[in-house]
Each structure stands twice: as structure tokens, then as C-alpha cells.
Amino acid sequence: AQSVAQPEDQVNVAEGNPLTVKCTYSVSGNPYLFWYVQYPNRGLQFLLKYITGDNLVKGSYGFEAEFNKSQTSFHLKKPSALVSDSALYFCAVRDPPHSSASKIIFGSGTRLSIRP
């Protein structure tokens, strides 16, 4: 079965500094990975996805993620954090990866807090 792990419950960054939110995956075959963001009392908003191709994926709101096959990681990054980036971030994987009858499996989430 496909799974993802987010090793950090919380990440604290000063505004203007770069941020990284970590994710590792365990899949059979080629993974289909996502990052979602959740603001308080809201649903999940799609940030970006990796299917194949370039290991650096660019997404919404200036976020990007780096796919690393040898380390089975898919870390979310942003060069300069904003206070408005403070939210709950989920790494996710599609299971099975390339089927129309797939579901999305989520990690446990990382709370990102950006201090002014």
C-alpha cells in the first residue's frame, strides 16, 4: 500500500526566511504525490503535484516541492515565508498511482507557523 509520512508536527519560521516542510513516501512503482494546505475551518486546497518529469515542481502561492527518488522524499519549500502561509500542510499520495479508481492517502500533517 502507498503511504506518506510527515516527521514534523510543527515547523516555525521567521517571515522572509526560507521554509521547508518534510515528507517521505513509501510506494510501489512510480509515485503520484501531492501537497495540500488547510486553513482554519476550511477544506483542503491543492498546492502542487508530482507525476513524472522534472524533480522540481512549482505550485500555487510561490510554493515548490522537490522530488528525490533516492531519498524517497517530497519536501515542500518556499524561498521567502509570509505570515499568511501559516496553516496546516498535508503531503498525500494517490493509491494506486495511475488508476482512475484511486483514492488519496494523507500524511498526518505539519502545522507551519510564520512569525512576523
Partner 1 sequence: DAGVTQSPTHLIKTRGQQVTLRCSPKSGHDTVSWYQQALGQGPQFIFQYYEEEERQRGNFPDRFSGHQFPNYSSELNVNALLLGDSALYLCASSSQGDGYTFGSGTRLTVV
- 7/64 Cα distance (integer angstroms): 19
- The least CB distance from residue 98 to partner 1, in Å, is 11
Considering the complex, state which of residue 28 and residue 45 has its C-beta at the smaller distance from partner 1.
Answer: 45
Which of 29, 52, 53, 100 is the binder for partner 1 (CB under 8 A)? 100
Closest C-alpha to 107, from 22, 45, 20, 19: 22
In this structure, the strands spanning 44-50 and 19-21 are unpaired
C-alpha distance from residue 51 to each of 11, 29, 34 (Å): 26, 12, 9
Does position 31 interact with partner 1 (CB under 8 A)? The reply is: no
Among the listed ranges 16-24, 35-43, 62-70, 77-85, the one in contact with partner 1 (CB under 8 A) is 35-43
Among the listed ranges 18-26, 41-49, 65-73, 75-83, the one in contact with partner 1 (CB under 8 A) is 41-49
- 61/26 Cα distance (integer angstroms): 27
- The least CB distance from residue 19 to partner 1, in Å, is 20
Cα–Cα–Cα angle for 95, 105, 76, rounded to 5 degrees: 110
Chain residues in the site for partner 1 (CB under 8 A): 36, 41-46, 49, 90, 100-101, 103-109
